[in-house]
Amino acid sequence: MTARLWAFILLTVLAPASLSAAPFAAYVMDARTGKPVYQQNADTKLHPASLTKMMTLYLAFTAIERGQVRLDSKVVVSSNAAAEPPSKLGLRAGQKIELRYLIRAAAIKSANDAATAIGEGLAGSETAFARQMTAMAKALGMRNTHFMNANGLTQEGHYSTAHDMSILGRRLFYDFPQYYNLFSRRSADAGIKKVSSTNRRFLDAYEGADGIKTGYTRAAGFNLTASAQRGNKRLIATVFGGTSTAQRNQVMAQLLDEGFKRVPSRVREVRPRKPQLLTQKVVRRAKVAPKAAATSPAPQKLVLKSSEPPARVPRNTASTAAVSDPLAAAVRKATQTQLSGSSLRLTASTRPPLRPAVRGNALEKALAAAGATAPDDRTATQSASLAAPVLQASARPLRAPRSRGSTAAIGDQDAEAIARAVAAATSSEGQPSLALLASPAPKPRSETVILAAMGEGDISEPEELEIVSRPADSGRYWGVNLGLYRSHIEAEKLLLKTALQDGTVLDGADRRIADTNRGFQAKFVNLSKADAYLACERLRARSQSCSVVGP
């Protein structure tokens, strides 16, 4: 019986398809597991037509969840978007319209101008948005899909398959359940006018159908990606190349009916993982032109231009007295007083005052000597007699250490050595000389430098881009959305109550309330993926609505 039914479906499809230029393809999937139920030409690259807008809407929902845009963000309509052919909303160039209305027009009416405006508003241009669409398709596992525009109008290089579009339909259902009901609406307010659904006939005719999207061009034929649920079963199917709306809907209904009979009632649900986002890592390397010294296999001998050697200081000329140098001035001052013979004494500096506990009773002896002076001697001579014993008893200052091990104080012998050194620096005529300052000329530096060859080096062209795969579900970037509430206090009370009831799961989570046009949105953020799903399951068990929000 099943074989005859599938044969009937095949004949129903192929008979009118022979009269149509568009090839036929079909794919039926168990939405709970992602496994195929039926497929025919499922991986053949065909024109997707307006099924393309499913990816346009997927990227729009992604941008909203990431906080890049809001539903009430204003989008400026370009002349390119306003000039798109029907089906269209009727946008004008320069017009500003909220993103929510563009999403409704693209999803329900399949408006081409609204889809182009969404792409240009999110990426800056339709070409850049098409690249983002293709990159996201690869991340979702759509291996035979390439996009060239945001609306699905026929264009070279713009193609997809029935299998890939079924994958995209399943992603819309699981990744954005908060927006999925948009595809089951029969009509909606699109800002400038009310629009009706292009899929309302199938939604009204087939039991359990709740989406998703239709498409039609002459090159593609009549396409449809549909989702339906009966009991615990949910199927997602795609048909390419229908000959008419009625024939396409009939084939889709037959495929779904037979699919519901074949899939089991109970099966372990396997939710799709978040897309493996691809990030571009730019690797920049300096470009250095190779030189002979670095690339030649033999050592190179480079001759450097050396500077002129320093001029020698005259040893016994009178012109050296004119050198303006602090050290020379100090030596000349020290040699002004020359004693007989070769001994020369430096003028002693004033002795420092006596420091306590340095020489025992030196101060007491000085005071006793002062007391022995005649009582009527109160002139300057008395002051001198009082200072003399103190100066004699004070100790000389310690010698500055020239090395870590030198702690001896400067004595008379050191003073004599200094005097002899200064006297030796004095000329035979008794005139000061700066011979100590005249150091011998430095040896000339080598005028050649030998550089060893360092090999070829890295002279290859730098890699412009390096694609790095990064899982988006790593880390605590998940959250739980508890819905919208009328007041900030109501949302805050619910978050606090929930945190107290599920303290183990929500430990470390942050409570966040977002003020939106529709109300106050209550969320728990900073959760891991496992904790977010566990917390949401517990809340649902207590009849609390919630949804998991991913990164």
Q: What is the pLDDT of residues 417-456, one digit of tens each?
A: 666 665 665 544 445 444 555 566 767 765 555 554 444 4
Say what the pLDDT of residue 486 is: 85
- Residue spans of the domains in the chain: they are 2-272, 322-371+382-393+410-441, 478-549
pLDDT at 297: 53
339-342-344 Cα angle (round to 5): 45
The CA distance from 257 to 78, in Å, is 44
Strands (E), 299-402: 300-303
Cis link prior to 513 (omega < 30° from 0)?
A: no
pLDDT attached to residue 493: 86
- Give the pair of three-digit tokens for residue 395: 């100790």
Task: Give buried/exposed letters for 91-110 (b at 16+ CB in 10 A, else e).
Answer: beeebebbbbbbbbbbbbbb
CA torsion, ordered 391, 395, 400, 401, to nearest 10 deg = 170
Assign 256 to helix, strand or coil. helix
Give the helix ranges, DSSP H, for 158-233: 162-175, 177-180, 200-205
Measuring CA to CA, which residue among 341, 332, 349, 348 is closest to residue 422? 332
User: Which position among 78, 88, 109, 110 bears the catalytic label?
Assistant: 110
Mean pLDDT by 10 residues, the chain (551 residues): 52 46 90 95 96 97 94 95 94 96 96 96 95 95 96 95 97 94 93 94 94 94 96 96 95 95 93 72 51 52 60 55 56 56 51 57 58 49 51 60 48 59 53 53 62 46 49 64 88 83 75 85 86 85 84 71
Q: Verify whether residue 35 is a known catalytic residue.
A: no
Query: 3.40.50.2300, 1.10.10.10, 3.40.710.10, 3.30.1330.40: which CATH number matches 2-272?
Result: 3.40.710.10
Please tell me the predicted confidence (pLDDT) of residue 415: 57
Q: Is 53 a catalytic residue?
A: yes
The per-residue pLDDT for 491 is 87
pLDDT of residue 236: 97
**Among this protein's residues, is 20 annotated catalytic?**
no
User: Residues with Cβ < 8 Å from 91, sequence gap 6 or more?
Assistant: 77, 81, 82, 97, 113, 114, 117, 192
**Dist CA 420 CA 315 (whole Å):** 19
Q: Is 10 helix (H, G, I), strand (E, B) or coil?
A: helix
Q: Which of 53, 109, 233, 529 is catalytic?
A: 53
Residue type, 261: K
DSSP reduced 3-state for 299: coil
Which of 42-54 are b and which e, b meaning 16 or more Cβ less than 10 Å from the residue's Cβ? bebebbbbbbbbb
User: Which of 215, 168, 146 lies closest to 29 in space, CA to CA?
Assistant: 168
- List, as residue ranges, the binding site: 213
Domain 478-549: give its CATH architecture: 2-Layer Sandwich (3.30)
Short-list 141, 144, 119, CA closest to 56: 119
Residue 317: the pLDDT is: 47
| Short-list 3, 190, 221, CA closest to 108 | 190
Binding residues for substrate: 213
**pLDDT on residue 313:** 59
The whole-number pLDDT of residue 494 equals 86
Residue with tokens 């496994």: 35
Q: What per-residue string of b and e applies to 398-413 under the rule 16 or more CB within 10 Å gives b? A: eeeeeeeeeeeeeeee
**pLDDT for the residue numbered 501:** 76
What distance in Å separates the CA atoms of residue 435 and residue 316, rounded to the nearest whole number? Answer: 8
**Residue 3, phi then psi, degrees to nearest 5:** -60, -40
pLDDT value of residue 274: 83
